[in-house]
Structure 1
Amino acid sequence: MNIKIKKISQAETAAWDTYVNAHPKATLYHLSSWKNVFEKTYGHKTYYLIAVNSTQLKVEDPPYSWTQSSKEQSTNYEPSAKSYDLGCEAASELSAKSYDLGCGTAPKLSANSYELNPDNVVGILPLVHLKHFIFGNSLISIPFFDIGGILANDEETEKALLSEAINLGQELKAKNIELRHIQPLSWLGGSSKLIDDSSKLIADSSKKEPGTTSAELSAMSFELGFEAAPMSYATKSHKVRMLLKLPKSSEALMKSFKSKLRSQIKKPIKEGLKSKVGGLELLDDFYKVFSINMRDLGSPLHSRKLIKHVLKEFSEKARIVLVYKGSEPLACSIIVGFNDTLENPWASALRQYSRLSPNMLIYWTMLEYACDNGFKYFDFGRSTPDEGTYRFKEQWGAKPEPLHWHFISLNGQPINEDTSEKSKFDIAIHYWQKLPVPVTKLLGPMIRKHIGL
């Protein structure tokens, strides 16, 4: 197969999303809308790489349909010898690396803007560049969320996309590439499955992923674009996402719960708490709860603009959920739907009202919404096995599914495989908890934008 790889423009996002929506392993976080969220919120550079199969196309008829109407016509596109937009060198300067990537002879290019033909797309890789002198220089797929990584039709395309990411990372002088997968790249090792026995998961999470010897790494390093030392590589799977399979109705879900859990859900309702599901009109109340809770946890909070852009980009697919005591918001969350799964990337509750159990009502409201809107799964988000949030989610019936985060070093340094939860920032957390909330709202986003977790 003759694979061309390029960085998409805004005009080409439709082809990207057509591929994502049709791919059986796609997730919410592969959609192109996140590109706009990252750029508009924090100004991060994004590199959304798309792989196109041009085997059946004529050289003089590139795999794009050219248009004459776009404002981008005035921008000349001139591939260079190190063009990572296409993943291969200019037609007159093809190198051995181009053939390693399967580029062959470069198609003729036009200065006009174009739209990709979705039928020829065979893979995608969303990458975001995070660079800071303290927090590091990385290409991540994708930051701030649990899932991202490569979507492709086959192993050949997966390797071509990673090879292009390596070329890009070297151009940007990044120290590493981070690919956040549910189902791991099989040729890099790892396995993916829902696990019923959490004790087995906890034991297994401390083991190093199998399968790639130093000799294989050496060979792979050359295949993927390294010209010197073998790459340092690791897969970390000590974190899980907690996934709940849903019945067809919220009534059936409530009946499936143990009596103790049902009582915990009913308690905040008896206390007079009420929930509400809405959109941007609830953003101020959401951010009020969110900012207080993040301060109390000792964690820099995301910018309000991040939540606003998520709600705008995903429109009716993204909702705010709030729990009130009268007019006072006590708990909040964000839910975003994709295919048959409703995701919950953020949730917070005010500690001083914990006796009223607003957290139980916020989660029940999300689950009720998921069932009543036809979703088959609810993703509670990332947890560490056997810790507090893990047990909280487990009581709802959620099952752990290992997350496989692939790390590839670009500077020859070994990947730190320490997965212990002992924080290096205990002192910083302690003092952050002492700050007034307005101060954390000012300083938090300036720090949080550089932290990929």
Structure 2
Amino acid sequence: MVATETAPAAAAASLSVKLMAPHDRARWDAFVRACPDATFFHLSGWQSVIEQSFKLKTWFYYAEQDGQIVGVLPLCEIKSRLFGHALGAMQFCVYGGVAALSDEARTLLDGAADKLARELGVGHLEYRNLVAAHPGDPAWHTKELYVTFRKAISGDDEENMNAIPRKQRAMVRKGIKLGLVGEVDDNVDRMFEAYASSVHRLGTPVFPKKYFALLKETFGDECEVRVITQNGALVAAVLSFYWRDEVVPYYGGGMPIARDVAGNDFMYWNLMQAAAARGARLFDFGRSKLGTGAYDFKKNWGFTAQHLPYEYKLYAASELPDNNPLNPKYQLFIKMWKKLPLPLANLLGPHIVRNLG
């Protein structure tokens, strides 16, 4: 992309906002890794992953002062008849928004997002924050929809096991007794098989296999594929991200047998063990929608739900988006999707899921 510059009069003369070019990626990532507000989902690799996997348009803005990056804001455009026209944090990334070292940089990046949103004529702009960025600002709205589950873990397996509530701990021990084992794959083949089987049973379109392969290729050792087997047979699998001292299990799924052998329960315990041994001290179970089975499952592990203050700024839209599987208008689609043969669902899913971020 060609770099552009704008600088509001109120900003310091040396503070400007630009679009990331290929030669900026190394210093972009160096900033993200050092910035306390940044997350794994601010890394530059997401641009190529999202653009190549889903053919979506992205803008990676950064604020620069005296030749140094002082703030970043990755944005992605969604344009769909079913889900509307929006600009916001990277599609399929649970965290995102401005990560900056100063209020001035944050304001400048907000201004770039506002300008782009108006030029594109979107319905709304969305930031996916861990902490509210505009509290009390009437121009920004929040809604009670998503929570995240984050919990400290130690380097001691016994301590981590004992921190799991009794009923859930019994499920983990069931998987252990039934001979489940975990191993790391260098490709996404088995993980995709387990994931595709799982989401089909939930009535959700599947991501393209290419997407998972690009995640593994782009993020290398920071993206791990862990597979659970029983006597060599595939039971479950999870793709996780490692970030600073955190592990983030992000895409997981199980074969039909997983329910009978506590496959998913064992899988997350096996990941927790491996992550703790690798030095991770925070287990991020990721976001879930209120009132869903995933929400209940994570609570059963003793994790406390933390509200995610996603923020929305309305433009052409008159109300906040409601792209939620609990929304009654999507229930018929979910029921129909569950009835599709799995090979057909895997063929059609990637053409639909690009708008489901």
Decide which of 215, 221, 230 is 1:316's aligned counterpart.
Answer: 221
Question: How far does residue 140 in structure 1 lie from its aligned partner after superposition?
Answer: 1.8
- Residues 415 and 385 of structure 1, relative CA distance in 2, 3 Å threshold: closer
The aligned counterpart of 2:152 is: 245
For residue 91 of structure 2, give the secondary structure of its aligned residue in structure 1.
Answer: coil
Partner Cα separation in structure 2 for residue 256 and residue 42 of structure 1: 40
For the 8 Å contact 1:291–1:441, the answer to whether it is kept is: yes
In the TM superposition, residue 163 of structure 1 has moved relative to its aligned partner by 1.1
> Secondary structure in 2 aligned to 1:433?
helix
User: Are 1:365 and 2:270 an aligned pair?
Assistant: yes
Verify: 1:179 aligned to 2:86, yes or no: no
- The 2-side partners of 1:430 and 1:391 are apart by 21
1:300 counterpart SS class: coil
Q: Write the letter of the residue equivalent to 2:113.
A: A
State how far apart, in whole Å, the 1-side matches of 2:253 and 2:287 are.
14
How far, CA to CA, are the matches of 1:300 and 1:410 in structure 2? 29
Question: Superposed, which structure 2 residues align to 1:53-132 within 5 Å?
Answer: 53-54=65-66, 63=67, 120-132=68-80
Aligned residue for 1:299? 204
1:25 aligns with 2:37: yes
For 1:161, give the aligned amino acid.
Answer: L
Bigger-Rg structure (1/2): 1
Alpha-carbon distance change, 328 to 419 in structure 1, aligned in 2, over 3 angstroms: closer
Displacement of 1:241 after TM fit? 0.5
Gaps of 5+ in 1: 55-62, 64-119, 190-210, 218-232
The structural deviation recorded for 1:387 is 4.4
- Match status 1:141 vs 2:48: no
What letter corresponds to residue 381 of structure 1 in structure 2?
G
Letter in 2 for 1:8: M
- Correspondence 1:232-271 to 2 at 5 A: 233-271=140-178
Structure 1 residue 325: deviation in Å? 2.3
Report the Cα distance in structure 2 between the residues aligned to 1:235 and 1:419, rounded to whole angstroms.
15
Residue matched to 2:330:
425
Give distance in 2, aligned partners of 1:177 and 1:13. Answer: 24
1:330 pairs, out of 231, 235, 239, with 235
> For each residue in 1:266-305, what CA deviation from the matched residue of structure 2 results, as whole angstroms up to 9, or x when unmatched?
212222322212321xx21111111111111000011101
1:145 Cα offset (Å): 2.3
Q: CA deviation at 1:255?
A: 3.5
Give the letter for the 2:301 counterpart. Answer: W
Contact 2:288–2:295 (8 Å) recurs in 1: yes
Mapped partners of 2:151, 2:168: distance in 1: 15
Give the aligned partner of residue 195 of structure 2.
Answer: 290
Q: Deviations over 1:112-164 (max 9, x none)?
A: xxxxxxxx211110001122233222112121121011011222222211111
Q: What is the deviation of 1:11?
A: 1.1
SS class of match (1:424): helix
Aligned position for 1:404: 309
Structure 1 residue aligned with 2:114: 166
* Runs (5+) with no aligned partner, structure 2: 1-11
User: Which letter does structure 2 place at the counterpart of 1:327?
Assistant: G
Helix, strand or coil: the match of 2:128? strand
1:6-25 paired onto structure 2 within 5 Å: 6-25=18-37
Q: Report matched runs for 1:186-197 at 5 Å.
A: 188-189=134-135
Aligned to 2:57: 45
Q: Give the SS at the match of 1:276.
A: strand
Contact 1:48–1:125, Cα closer than 8 Å, also in 2: yes
Deviation at 1:251, TM superposition (A): 3.2
3-state SS of the aligned residue for 1:331? Answer: strand
Q: Is residue 224–residue 239 contact of structure 2 (8 Å, CA) maintained in 1?
A: yes
Q: CA 1:397 to 1:142, structure 2 compared with 1: closer, same or farther past 3 Å?
A: same
Cross-structure match for 1:203: none
Query: Equivalent residue of 1:26, what SS?
Result: coil
Matched residues in 2 for 1:377 and 1:182: separation?
15
Kept after mapping to 1: 8 A contact 2:37/2:100:
no
Q: Distance in 1 between matches of 2:58 and 2:183?
A: 35
Matches of 1:441 and 1:425, distance apart in 2:
19
**1:144, 1:254 → 2: CA distance?**
31
* CA–CA separation in structure 2 for the residues paired with 1:419 and 1:42: 20
- Per-residue CA deviation, residues 383-438 of structure 1 (Å, 9 max, x unaligned), is 23464322321232322222111111222634357989333211111111011111
Taking the aligned partners of 1:295 and 1:36, their CA distance within structure 2 comes to 27
Aligned length: 345
Give the Å deviation of 1:259: 4.4
1:356 match: secondary structure:
coil
Partner of 1:379: 284
CA contact (8 A) 2:148 2:288 kept: yes
| Residues 236, 417 of structure 1: 8 Å contact kept | no
Distance across 2 between alignment mates of 1:133 and 1:395 = 38
TM-score, normalisation: structure 2: 0.91
